[in-house]
Structure 1
Amino acid sequence: MRKWGPLVAVCLGTFMLLLDVTVVIVALPDMAGALDASLTDLQWVIDIYALVLAALLLGAGAAADVIGRRRMYVAGTALFALASLGCGLASGSASLIVMRGLQGVGAAAMFATTLSLLGAAYEGRERSFALGIWGAVSGAAAALGPVLGGVLTQSLDWRWIFFVNLPVSVAAIWLTVHAVEPTKGQGARRIDWAGTAAFALFAGALTYGVVRAGAEGWTSAGTGALFAVAVLALAVFVAVQRRAAQPLIDLSLFRRPSFLAVMAGGMAYNAAAFGVMPYTSIWLQTVLGMSPVQAGLALLPLAATAFVVAAVSGRLLHAAPHRLVIGGGLLLIGGGTLAQAVLDADSGWGSLAAGLAVSGVGVGLVSPGLGGAALASVPPQNAGMAGGAVNTFRQLGFALGVAVFGTIAAARMSASFREAGVGQADDAAHTLAGGGAQALRRTTAEEVLRAAFASGLNTAALVAGVTGLLAGLAVLVWVRTSPAPPAAPATTPATTPAGQVRTKRPATVERP
């Protein structure tokens, strides 16, 4: 147990926290019915978790260096478990959203320490093997979320997608305590609380602004105020990082085209691959009448191809240029998402299969290689910052993707209803997108409902696909890094301010 116990402990936690990013997708219609949740409520049930995870990830890495990484991982897992219990017991959408936010806090504490714990536990070939397994688990978790969520929702209840985290958390904590060596905190290190708070305010205000725009319009006073707060918070974050002795992120890294392109690619990856999926699941269940398991299986082409390709590409493409693997994968995600924008009133789940499979191939290429591309785009001393930053941008991309594509889909549904002469089109569109198709059937023809939802999904998929294609082109054009040769084993892994492992390796190859 002592040899592979740390790997199992870290992978259990990683799989669980990344699974919870997407596990709620298939359960959304059941949640909406049980909690009387609106479209905005459902968006926040998904978004608040990824948003808090993204906002706190860099700060959590610095905090782990202060209090000790094993202690941080155990505390984060315990908080994650308690918040999962709260999610399962939630009596309303507001309490569920709050508990999902607390889940995100625990997940940030866990995710910020995973790589450094593995780096401290293994050396040489064992370290490469452990990191490879961790990468495969990370790549499969988000893609498998809808499938497992569908099985749990239908066979038990939607609350069990949260209750199942409890035994997994207990196992992860027990293994961590018994198999992972404790690490001492760096008492002299300071946590950039001001930078963490400013970034959290920026991410939250931006996402809330997009969600509110869907309900009140882009030109409403409330929406404009939120965007203004987001801009101000971003300016404060930049100012704090420039003056901080130990910043969360070295802003000079963004002057590197390769680093900037990889960060944009990470954000677009999660947005394009998974941002439309919640609304696809609602369409499958509330419009086509599929069960949660059937809806999960309808999304299986993405999960299955992503899992297989991630396992194969990690072994066969480790020496391939990052720009080709990541850029090509993003192009496949974009193309696959565009191929899903073919729905009409008579379409069934089979219309999505080919596009989902193509997107899955892209996910399988991008997910395992994105971290390595981020590390290769910066000097070795900034490796921890790069690793933390790319995970932050990934989760922020998912949160923004769900918000933006939901707003776009609802707007197009509203336009479709107006064209069909349906009264109160905006309210009807939000009801339909939020899983209320059954209520609308009393006053609206079935074909009108199907046509409206299909047009909304098509428009959202179109924007998501273009996002993936543009990000892929940016990576192909701007990323000029090559994978570094395997590093010589380090006796004691060093850590960076973000709490990530760093070993000595040759300088990054970055061409002008």
Structure 2
Amino acid sequence: MTDIHLGLPLPRRVYAIIAVFCGSMVLSMDIAIAAVVLPTIAEQLNISDAKAVIFVTLYQLILAMTLLPLSALANRLGMRKLYCLGLLLHAAGGLLILTTESYTAALMARSLQAIGTAAGLSVAIGLVRYIYPSQHLGKGMSLNTVANAGGTSLAPAIGGYLAASVDWRWVFCAIVPLSAIALAMFKTIPKPEIHPGRFDGKGSLLCALSIGAIIIGVELAVHGGQVLAGALTAALGLAVGYWFVRHELAVENPVLPLDMLANPKLSLALLANFLATLAGMLIILYLPFYLQNSLGYGPSQVGSVLAIYATASLLFAPTSGYLSDKVSIELLCSLGMLVSLVGLCLMIFAPQEMSLANITWRLWLIGAGVGMFFSPNARMIIGSVALARSAAAASLITTGRTLGQTAGASCVAVLLVLQLSGGPAPFILAAVLVVATLIITLTRPR
């Protein structure tokens, strides 16, 4: 560990934990909560299903484009200030949606929420580093993982209930009370020192343009059916990305922390974070199609299975994070990937006709392994950098997860187009990604 940090004194530490936990849960819930009300939005606003999906795709696009620039801004503005500003923007966007009557206005308000989410997530993991003593950082990472996984798991149920009970607009501001709790405790949140220096505006613009063009290109090719236009747009994004990296090498306070990426230990851990997220997203998005279309289970049964999968991750994440303060991180991450691989192999070679119970315990293994992996891996990344670089490291973790989620959605779409979603192909692809993550974990420098 680069720095020895004593953390916040008690009882302030407890209040800060509550504030960051509530805020992280809000932001993670908001990422997943929109999907369940898309059909309702399409019906009530009299728009096509494709236009309704833009509520999700635009949100994810803004998130991916702004995480790194906002993290760089945190060093000039202050991590606590940016975190609270993110919660305020998110809440303001939700309240604005309540007053909207048109599709365009609702989309603009949703975009404001995306910027708020990016601002909060860009520093949330970094703030955890300042809350906990160095020797308990794994415990902090596990609670952050629980907040993120819990928010993602609860979002569909809460969104579905609200969409059925009240106006769909309430779905986007129903979690504002959690933001209010976090904001009410803002003085307990750590206030790391602000680092003077010029904000890299050009680098931020190039970063956003590069990531945005690549994602839009993939979306055009996969979802829009415009392969040539998508390839050209993605190629333009790569060209801008090259320009971006060249620019970052010449500035004093870069948006992209290239020195971290040059460290094999950190870069490989970040790659493992991306691949594991991609594998997990592939499973989560594929399961409803597999269970409902291939095995004939109803929506309620599908929901129960997904909840059990998420519960396995929630149960094992805090245990693994706690143990990462005491035992080898590589051992915990490797064990997690091995458990997931066993579950995936059991699904690949499972009989065509399976009971729900036989499916559930196999998926439980996959979810448990995923939960075991993320907390220790995040602890290693955050704990390996200087305290002042925590925000930058946090943004790399969050950006990697966001890109992994986006890539996972695109992979499922490709499998559906190729009509490979009825067999074991998605599980085989997920197993390959898990094996790659395991190899990286075992071979990266100690």
Distance 1:282 1:253 in 2: 39
After superposition, the C-alpha distances for 1:330-362 in whole angstroms (9 at most, x for unaligned) are 344455456556899977866742342122112
2:419 aligns to what SS in structure 1? helix
Q: 1:215 Cα deviation (Å)?
A: 4.0
Instruction: Find the partner of 1:454 among 422, 430, 434.
Output: 422
Distance in structure 2 (CA, Å) of the matches to 1:347 and 1:89? 48
Question: What is the Cα deviation at residue 86 of structure 1?
Answer: 4.6
Return the match for 1:207 from 215, 239, 242. 215
Identity of aligned residues (%): 23
Q: 1:46 to 1:120 in 2, by over 3 A?
A: same
Instruction: Give the whole-Å Cα distance in 2 for the aligned partners of 1:213 and 1:157.
Output: 34
The equivalent residue for 1:101 is 111
CA contact (8 A) 1:279 1:406 kept: no
Change (3 A) 1:170 1:463: same
Q: What's 2:7 paired with?
A: none
Distance in 2, matches of 1:462 and 1:101, equals 36
Would you say 1:361 and 2:361 are equivalent positions?
A: no
Q: Which residue of 2 aligns with 1:472?
A: 438
2:29 to 7, 19, 22: 19
Determine the C-alpha separation between the residues in 2 that align with 1:295 and 1:31.
23
Distance 1:335 1:96 in 2: 44
Q: Matched residues in 1 for 2:108 and 2:442: separation?
A: 40
Task: Report the counterpart of residue 120 of structure 2 in structure 1.
Answer: 110
Deviation string, structure 1 residues 47-79 (Cα, Å, up to 9, x no partner) = 433443333222222222322333222211111
AA aligned opposite 1:203 = I
Deviation, structure 1 residue 461 = 4.0
Structure 1 distance, partners of 2:103, 2:413, is 18
1:233 shift after superposition = 1.9
- Aligned equivalent of 2:404: 397
Q: Does 1:267 align with 2:274?
A: yes
Structure 1: runs of 5+ lacking an equivalent:
414-452, 482-512
Partner Cα separation in structure 1 for residue 343 and residue 40 of structure 2:
28
Report the equivalent of 1:411. Answer: 418
- CA shift, 1:239, in A, is 1.0
Aligned CA distance change for structure 1 residues 125 and 114 (closer, same or farther; 3 Å): same
Aligned residues: 435
Question: Structure 2: which 5+ runs fail to align?
Answer: 1-10
Matched residues in 2 for 1:409 and 1:89: separation? 37
- Alignment root-mean-square deviation, CA: 3.7
Per-residue deviation, 1:141: 3.2
Residue of structure 2 equivalent to 1:78: 88
Distance 1:49 1:13, change over 3 A: same
Residue pair 2:122, 2:391 contacting (<8 A) in 1 also: no
The AA in structure 1 aligned to 2:249 is R
Partner of 1:314: 321
Distance 1:273 1:47, change over 3 A: farther
The corresponding residue for 2:176 is 166
Deviation at 1:381, TM superposition (A): 6.9
* Distance in 1 (alpha carbons) for counterparts of 2:28 and 2:422: 29
SS in 1 for 2:382: helix
Determine if the alignment matches structure 1 residue 277 to structure 2 residue 284. Answer: yes
Deviates more, 1:372-381 or 1:268-277: 372-381
Structure 2 residue 203 is the aligned partner of structure 1 residue 195: yes
Structure whose alpha-carbon radius of gyration is higher: 1
The residue type equivalent to 2:206 in the other structure is A
Normalized per residue, the structure richer in helix is: 2
Secondary structure of 1:320's match?
A: coil
Counterpart CA distance in 1 for 2:283 and 2:52 is 13
Cα distance in 2 for residues equivalent to 1:341 and 1:157: 42
Q: What is the TM-score of this pair, normalised by structure 2?
A: 0.82
Q: Identify which of 56, 62, 74 aligns with 2:66.
A: 56
Cα distance in structure 1, aligned partners of 2:381 and 2:190: 28
